[in-house]
Amino acid sequence: MLSYRHAFHAGNHADVLKHAVVVQLLRYLGQKEKPYWYIDTHAGAGVYALTEGYAAKTAEFETGIARLWNRNDLPAALADYVEQVSAINADGNLRLYPGSPYLAWRLMRPQDRMRLFELHSTEIEVLRHNFRDAGRRAMLYAGDGFEGIKALLPPAPRRALVLIDPSYEDKRDYARAITCLEESLARFATGVYAVWYPQVVRPESQRFPEQLKRLQSTDWLHVSLTVSRPPSDGFGLYGSGMFVLNPPYTLAASVREMLPFLKDVLNEDGEARFEIEARVS
């Protein structure tokens, strides 16, 4: 929905899960010299201030990144993620939070390219400002990423990470995400596709993981992190999931190490749990 601003939720428990996985995916793609593309269908603003504006009003980052910030016992994958956040907070104080595009920008190499979509008229302008010095390595599009991605696939290097993470405030986003993935796989079957989704009390959210599993019979990894029991009033986010199609073989080990830790640290009411499912060929 055009009213949605991710800054309200920046750095929360869902961002921690999503971005820790994204960092690991980008690390893997960067191991080979051949270039890759990072494509984000719902890029947001790129970087968020945590001490003022929208994020300060809700302070959701206190349920996420803030709980990891000063820990010295983080599993390797989480330590890597926190290090990327620390890089834009040079004084050691948690003031800024990098969204997926900025995390990708930090991990990209000179030969890699970025393609970002954002539909919100204000967010796209902030995104353009944040990437004003990126040159042609980062191409930004003011538009619907579900539709715009069609023109980019397959990418020239035949290697890419595609992140699909709409807000899902509009319940049609669930069906649109499935259609986008079906069409994208038809164009570029070997790409790595990472889909974030919220755990909320809504039928579309409850059945979404099973719909994702039917996209292809093998080569997928599904992880979810529930931080509290579902709210009694039916409103609010109580967890989230990441579904990765064509995941690198290294990802399963990373999430198995990080999720038990996150369950304990991000637990809100004693009901936290996690799930890991994988099917490989």
Residue range 65-101, pLDDT digits in tens: 999 999 999 999 999 999 999 999 999 999 999 999 9
What was the pLDDT predicted at 5? 67
Q: Rounded to an integer, what distance in angstroms lies between the CA atom of residue 109 and that of residue 33?
A: 9
**Before 154, cis peptide (omega within 30)?**
yes
**Residues involved in catalysis:** 165
Q: What are the φ and ψ backbone dihedral angles of 100, each rounded to 5 degrees?
A: -55, -45
Count of CB atoms within 10 A of residue 230's CB?
A: 15
209 vs 214: CA distance, rounded Å:
9
Under CATH, domain 12-47+100-279 is a member of which superfamily?
A: Vaccinia Virus protein VP39 (3.40.50.150)
Interval 21-65: pLDDT, tens: 999 999 999 999 999 999 999 999 999 999 887 777 788 999 999
Place of tokens 């979810």: 224
Q: What token pair was written down for 249?
A: 């073989």
CB 228 within 8 A of CB 269: yes
Q: For residue range 176-221, what is the model confidence (pLDDT) as tens digits?
A: 999 999 999 999 999 999 999 999 999 999 999 999 999 999 999 9
Domain boundaries, the chain: 12-47+100-279
- pLDDT at residue 247, rounded to an integer: 98
Q: pLDDT tens for residues 149-166?
A: 999 999 999 999 999 999
